[in-house]
Amino acid sequence: MLQNIKAVIFDMDGVLIDSETICDRIWYRLADEMGLPDIDKAIVENRGCNEQMMAEKLSRRYGKDFDCPKFFKTFSVYFHEVEFSEGIPLLPEVKETLDYLKEKGYHLGLSSSTRRTTVKRQLTACGIFDYFECGTFGDEVIHSKPDPEIYLKTAEKLGVKPENCVGIEDSPNGVRSVHSAGFYTIMVPDKIEPDEEIKKLCYKIGKPISILREIL
């Protein structure tokens, strides 16, 4: 059991909600429509990134003339079609785990590369937005994950020192961000399994998210 932990700070996509499955469907759809090769590699390298970093990565992969605005606009349209017609489900045991952490008195925060308005809409629809005291989002930071900025800002808002925080992530970039912030790093893998580098950065790796009950 971890001692002296006061706050648990979560990524959203692939940790709390199963949005990554929807995103993957749209990546493949756009790859077909726009003729994009090596889409599996593009998906992996863009997980956990905000729009600015994604634009840089897409331009490096597909050339400086790649139409990023068209890509992002179309992606958003397709994602909203799925979100509003099918909904975005919670991942297994999320609500039960949040209930447990609340009962134990931990401060709960969010550090998601997704925009604030989107996070609020999606987590409200899932019934869990009000569990979190505060958050920092992709449109509120200068440096995207793997930079630690997004986690350090949330810890500061909660008034908790980094060494007293746990960060929950599913992607390599997210894990690097949490570890660089000086948090205890817990990985709940979703679409990407950890390699040896990532394993060394984590205090614990496992799923579903209810593993937190074993640690906290």
Q: Which of 11, 13, 170, 190 is labelled catalytic?
A: 11
Q: What does the block give as tokens for 74?
A: 């179309």
Q: Taking a C-beta distance cutoff of 8 angstroms, is the pair 137, 119 a contact? A: yes
User: Is residue 11 annotated as a catalytic residue, yes or no?
Assistant: yes
3-state per-residue secondary structure call for the chain: CCCCCCEEEECCECCCECHHHHHHHHHHHHHHHHCCCCHHHHHHHHCCCCHHHHHHHHHHHHCCCCCHHHHHHHHHHHHHHHHHHHCCCECCCHHHHHHHHHHHCCEEEEEECCCHHHHHHHHHHHCCHHHCCEEEEHHHCCCCCCCCHHHHHHHHHHCCCHHHEEEEECCHHHHHHHHHCCCEEEECCCCCCCCHHHHHHCCEECCCHHHHHHHC
What residues are annotated to the active site? Answer: 11
